[in-house]
Amino acid sequence: MRGVKPIKEEVKVINFWNFDENNRLFFRHQTELHNRVGEFVRPHRLKYFAVRWFIQGTTTLYLDHVPYHIKPNTFMLAGPSQISAFEPLTEGGGFETKTVAFDHNLVSMMDFDEKTVLMLSGTASHLFFHMPEDHVDSLSHFFHLIEKEYQEPSSIERDQILAYLIKALILQAIRVNGGRNKLTSNSEYENLYKQFLEALEAHFTDKHTLSEYAALLNVNEKRLSRACQAITKTTPGKIIHRRLDYEAKRLLYYTSNNVKEIGYHLGFKDPAHFNKFFKKMNGYNPGTLRKQVSA
């Protein structure tokens, strides 16, 4: 489209952790988050999976555009593509958190079952819940073991032990959370659904229809629809639209690109079509959200 500028990504990537071939994990125990308020208050990406245990303190964490209210013994797992930001903390309010960050290399060593891999592969691939009191001790034990092993010299054995400990921690969190983040088990369709998610992530800005993804994956439309319904109880069309809406809100919140530029970036050649799509998804126009964010 003539006159439309390329989209600008304005969210800072915080890369204060030393990840390399010898360090696939990072552990931090913090007692005063306000010491790093300049980094954490502003929207940022971490580029890694991050498991956080908020031991003390109360604040609000925004994961993409959704607010999550943090209180003592809150557990959270966020994915590497998500944008997060904290509300400023009150000085002297008391805060303590333990964070375990790890990259895809360590995830590959965890050997998760297919359903958990799919759960971690989605756009909003995260866990968030307030840990019941009777599970706090076991949560604390896992973090203690991870912290102790993290202090050992780097080795393949160390990485394997850390991978298994983090895997156990995540599976424990899924169980305590009542399995609400787990997908329906259906081995016949799990691989196809995973391929669909990967294709969606690569092409959601230029392919918007079931027929386009079926052709890309070389399957018929009915089979792809059955796979999505079996795994998520949702149609592929709704999954595609949710991904577009998710990205539209992310860009409206965290960049200065105008509505026309965002719509064009998402594959809508006519701004009116983008406005119609967004209003159908949310009940209001994208310009309304942009004004609220700018206010």
Q: How far is CA 57 from CA 61, 70, 90, 136, 247, in A?
A: 12, 8, 10, 16, 31
The Cα 74–Cα 126 span in angstroms is: 13
pLDDT of residue 284: 94
What is the helix (H) or strand (E) element at residue 81, kind and residue range?
none
Summarize pLDDT for 40-72 with one digit per residue, the tens. 667 777 778 888 898 988 888 888 778 888 889
Q: How far is CA 80 from CA 51, 103, 285, 287, in A?
A: 11, 8, 29, 28
What are the sequence ranges of the domains in the chain? 12-176, 187-294
CATH of 187-294, one of 1.10.10.10, 1.10.10.60, 1.10.3720.10, 3.90.920.10: 1.10.10.60
The Cα 194–Cα 157 span in angstroms is: 30
Weakest-pLDDT range from 21-30, 45-54, 86-95: 86-95
Query: Pick the residue with more confidence: 185 or 240?
Result: 240
Summarize pLDDT for 33-42 with one digit per residue, the tens. 544 555 666 7
What is the helix (H) or strand (E) element at residue 86, kind and residue range?
strand 84-86
The Cα 166–Cα 106 span in angstroms is: 10
Superfamily (CATH) of domain 12-176: Regulatory protein AraC (2.60.120.280)
pLDDT band at 97, cuts 50/70/90? confident
